[in-house]
Amino acid sequence: GQQLNQSPQSMFIQEGEDVSMNCTSSSIFNTWLWYKQDPGEGPVLLIALYKAGELTSNGRLTAQFGITRKDSFLNISASIPSDVGIYFCAGQGSSGGSNYKLTFGKGTLLTVNP
Amino acid sequence: NAGVMQNPRHLVRRRGQEARLRCSPMKGHSHVYWYRQLPEEGLKFMVYLQKENIIDESGMPKERFSAEFPKEGPSILRIQQVVRGDSAAYFCASSPFSETQYFGPGTRLLVL
């Protein structure tokens, strides 16, 4: 089956630092999504990317859809304590597959030291 | 404008009992998806339903697991004769069409 490799697995940073995480896939996706999950809660959508090469921002978050359609990265600038959580990438819609099923990475655990 | 609701939030069952998880989609959403998350893992797709129809259950174990989304009422994920390996967080998501999915807070199932 499809697999997403997300890295790093965890990050421990100081408040104010920038953060970068990425996902690579063995197959092509039509859509890349980034979610954040707080403890005991469900994933919350941060950014959705629909076009290869697309660069999209949402406040301090910036994400890009790789031109090969097999990768994506998420940057967080000037981190703050409430950025703490687990960040998941997800691919949706692959050639020969469904256009609804989300395939998730294993997550990046972000800890921000005030 | 309520989001996706799931209940119960936590469920404890003994081996062999039945677990019944409920999901109410966002208003106006007729597509429901169930995902399972094991500890320190990402979410894994289980099943996709529209009202009264199972569209794709390829991610659901063939035995003991079933799902429904009746014409009236919430979607139900049912696990019969639970085993310890069923302990996980189960998330429901909904969408208006087959596109961006919005997740509920999940049900944490613990099998003793």
Rounded-to-integer distance, Cα A80 and Cα A37, Å: 16
DSSP for residue A15:
T
pLDDT the model gives residue A2: 65
- Which pairs count as long-range contacts for B52-59, CB under 8 Å and 24+ apart, including other chains? B56/A98, B56/A100, B56/A101, B59/A101
Contacts of A33 in chain B (CB under 8 A): 100
Q: Are B68 and B49 in contact (CB under 8 A)?
A: yes
- Among the partner-chain residues A40, A102, A107, the one whose CB lies closest to the CB of B101 is A102
Tell whether the torsion through CA atoms of B105, A16, A54 and A96 is positive or negative: negative
Is residue B1 very low, low, confident or very high in pLDDT (cuts 50, 70, 90)?
low
- List the single residue in B with minimal CA-CA distance to A37: B105
pLDDT of residue A56: 95
d(CA B61, CA B27): 29
Q: Which residues contact A78 (CB under 8 A, 6 or more apart)?
A: A16, A17, A18, A60
Nearest chain A Cα distance for residue B18, angstroms = 23
Query: For chain B, what percentages of helix, strand and coil (3-state, to nearest 5) are there?
Result: 5, 50, 45
d(Cα A32, Cα A35) in Å, to the nearest integer? Answer: 10
Closest CA to B106 of B32, B9, B2: B9
pLDDT tens readout for residues A4-40: 899 999 999 999 999 999 999 998 999 999 999 998 8
Pairing of strands A61-65, B10-13: unpaired
pLDDT of residue B42: 86
Which secondary-structure segment (H or E) carries B93?
Answer: strand B88-95
